[in-house]
């Protein structure tokens, strides 16, 4: 019995010692990286400064950089240090299974390649550089799709901490904190999915087009998932129909144009400005769910609706309530407001501050009226009526969403929007009677 035990221990020790010598030698020979990168250099390249292993199939590395391209995208990922474990047996079934991935200070870059119908010429100068790959200026002819299934890549239990930099298309972001996820995808245009995604990060900055600031000084905490979908068949905004988010956020925003996604079916309405965004988002495959509640407190808030333009300080709220989950409640409220209505050659300018309004018509005398009403006497200027204001001038609108669909929300009655903003507005050239 002791002899057999001794032989087993001796065999295990020899195998372990041989593994350490051979694998560590291979990981640190330059020819290893050369052979890997000669496999399909047009698709991927990998480099590392130093690598080692102490436990079978658990690899540690420093100074890691990888880049690659498909027919539609080019990408690059870097980290100063990472470790991961790989399973050997799934390789026999064309599956690469990597698990227990730990990385720090991730840099990730991605840019699109031109298509016959889209050259990206206007934004190309703002795309990130990709090591060893020239930026394409003419459309790329996709390689003929090979028959059969591709390799399955399964990466479980990814944990990335530290300071991260993202540069995707013309968007740049800097984050601090922890990111976790499981990722599955299949080569040759197969499906992609992401589950158990977790975010707990501080947003240091988010910018677009040569550092035009969008957001800064905030945090994002919650979960993110993508149900399986084929990216080549669901590009851009279509991919949001497979996304699920449950997150809390609080950040400064220098641009409110992202809110126009919810306003584009309110014909002619447009928002912009800057302020602080905070609240909770619950989104599931195309539908905002209760208790979604977002608020923007804006030092600068601009609203355009048909021939009206309003600006000032105020807030915007987006809510989905349990009592009416099929509806999206959108509220736009001004604490101070300047309203301009252009019609013909004249222009009316109305200012609302707290509970008082003051109106004047540019280009001529404009008498003030009692109770906050404004009158004008020019036939070529559309009539404007402003009722007495309480604490704020406000516009409230309700947009009905599609419970099961992936379409943007539909608007409610837009005919009452101006009335709710200003008290009333019309085209009565005889005055405000």
- Answer yes or no: is pLDDT of 145 > 80: no
The yes-or-no verdict on residue 210 having pLDDT over 80 is no
pLDDT above 90: residue 222 = yes
* pLDDT tens-digit readout, 343-385: 644 444 444 444 333 333 333 343 333 333 333 332 222 222 2
Please tell me the predicted confidence (pLDDT) of residue 5.
Answer: 81
Q: Exposed, middle or buried: residue 242 (CB in 10 Å: 0-12, 13-18, 19+)? A: buried
pLDDT at 117 over 60: yes
Measured in whole angstroms, the distance separating CA 15 from the mean position of its chain's CA atoms is 49
Work out the average pLDDT over 216-245. Answer: 91
Q: Which tokens go with 116?
A: 């016959």
Identify whether the C-beta of residue 82 lies closer than 8 Å to the C-beta of residue 64. Answer: yes
* Residue whose tokens read 């032989």: 7
* pLDDT tens digits along 279-291: 999 999 888 888 8
pLDDT for residue 267: 63
* All residues at 6 or more sequence positions from 340 whose CB lies less than 8 Å from its CB, including other chains: 308, 309, 310, 347, 348, 349, 350
Query: pLDDT tens for residues 168-177?
Result: 999 999 999 9
What does the pLDDT read at residue 262?
66
Pairing between β-strand 308-319 and β-strand 293-305 as defined by DSSP bridges: antiparallel
Res 269 pLDDT > 90? no
Q: Which of 200-204, 208-212, 304-308 has the highest mean pLDDT?
A: 200-204
More confident residue, 329 or 246: 246
Please check the confidence at residue 425 and state whether its pLDDT lies above 80: no
Render pLDDT for 56-98 as a digit per residue (tens, 0 to 9).
Answer: 999 999 999 999 998 889 999 999 999 999 999 999 999 999 9
For the whole model, what pTM was predicted? 0.74
Q: Which segment of 50-54, 243-247, 407-411 scores lowest on mean pLDDT? A: 407-411
pLDDT of residue 266: 64
Segment 417-433 shows an average pLDDT of 34
Name the token pair of 330: 């959108």
Q: Are 281 and 292 in contact (CB under 8 A)?
A: yes
Bridge-based pairing of strands 50-55 and 58-69 is antiparallel
Least confident of 37-41, 248-252, 374-378, 415-419: 374-378
DSSP for 324-392, written as a single string: -TTEEEEEEEEEEEEEEEEETTEEEEEEEETTEEEEEEETS---B-GGG-B----TTS--EEEPPP-S-
Total count of residues recorded for the chain? 433
For range 102-128, the mean pLDDT: 92
What distance in Å separates the CA atoms of residue 360 and residue 345, rounded to the nearest whole number?
Answer: 15
Place of tokens 């509640």: 293
User: Which pLDDT does position 263 carry in this prediction?
Assistant: 67
Residue 413 has pLDDT above 50, yes or no: no
What is the pLDDT, as a whole number, of residue 96?
94
Tell me what pLDDT residue 343 has: 60
pLDDT, greater one: 308 or 415? 308
Q: Which of 258-262, 354-358, 388-392 has the lowest mean pLDDT?
A: 388-392
Q: Give the residue among 331, 246, 251, 328 at the shortest CA–CA distance from 285.
A: 246
């Amino acid at each position: 019995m002791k002899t057999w035990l001794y032989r087993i221990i001796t065999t295990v020790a020899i195998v372990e010692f041989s593994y350490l010598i051979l694998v560590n030698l291979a990981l640190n020979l330059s020819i290893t990286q050369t052979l890997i990168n000669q496999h399909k250099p047009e698709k991927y390249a990998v480099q590392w400064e130093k690598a080692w292993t102490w436990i079978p199939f658990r690899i540690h590395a420093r100074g890691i950089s990888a880049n690659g391209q498909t027919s539609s995208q080019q990408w690059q990922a870097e980290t100063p240090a990472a470790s991961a474990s790989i399973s050997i047996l799934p390789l026999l079934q064309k599956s690469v299974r990597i698990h227990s991935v730990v990385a720090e200070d991730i840099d990730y870059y991605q840019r699109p390649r031109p298509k016959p119908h889209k050259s990206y010429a206007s934004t190309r100068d703002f795309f990130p550089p990709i090591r060893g790959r020239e930026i394409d200026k003419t459309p790329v002819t996709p390689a003929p799709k090979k028959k059969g299934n591709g390799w399955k890549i399964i990466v479980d239990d990814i944990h990335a901490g530290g300071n991260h930099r993202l540069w995707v298309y013309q968007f740049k972001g800097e984050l601090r904190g922890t990111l976790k996820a499981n990722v599955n995808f299949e080569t040759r245009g197969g499906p992609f999915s992401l589950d158990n995604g977790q975010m707990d990060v501080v947003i240091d900055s988010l910018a677009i087009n040569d550092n035009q600031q969008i957001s800064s000084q905030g945090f994002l905490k919650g979960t993110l998932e993508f149900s399986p979908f084929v990216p080549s068949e669901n590009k851009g905004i279509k991919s949001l129909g497979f996304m699920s988010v449950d997150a809390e956020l609080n950040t400064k925003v220098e641009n409110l144009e992202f809110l126009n996604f919810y306003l584009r079916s309110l014909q002619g309405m447009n928002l912009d400005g800057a302020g602080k965004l905070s609240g909770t988002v619950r989104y599931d495959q195309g539908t905002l769910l209760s208790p979604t509640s977002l608020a923007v407190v804006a030092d600068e808030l601009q609203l355009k609706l048909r021939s009206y333009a309003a600006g000032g300080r105020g807030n915007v709220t987006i809510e989905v309530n349990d009592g009416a989950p099929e509806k999206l409640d959108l509220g736009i409220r001004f604490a101070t407001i300047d309203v301009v209505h252009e019609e013909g050659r004249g222009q009316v300018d109305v200012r609302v501050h707290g509970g008082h309004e003051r109106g004047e018509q540019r280009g001529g005398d404009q008498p003030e009226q009692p109770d906050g009403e404004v009158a004008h006497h020019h036939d070529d200027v559309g009539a404007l009526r402003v009722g007495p204001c309480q604490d704020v001038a406000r516009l409230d609108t309700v947009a009905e969403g599609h419970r099961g669909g992936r379409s943007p929300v539909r608007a409610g009655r837009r005919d009452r929007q101006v009335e709710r903003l200003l008290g009333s507005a019309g085209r009565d050239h005889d005055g405000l009677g």
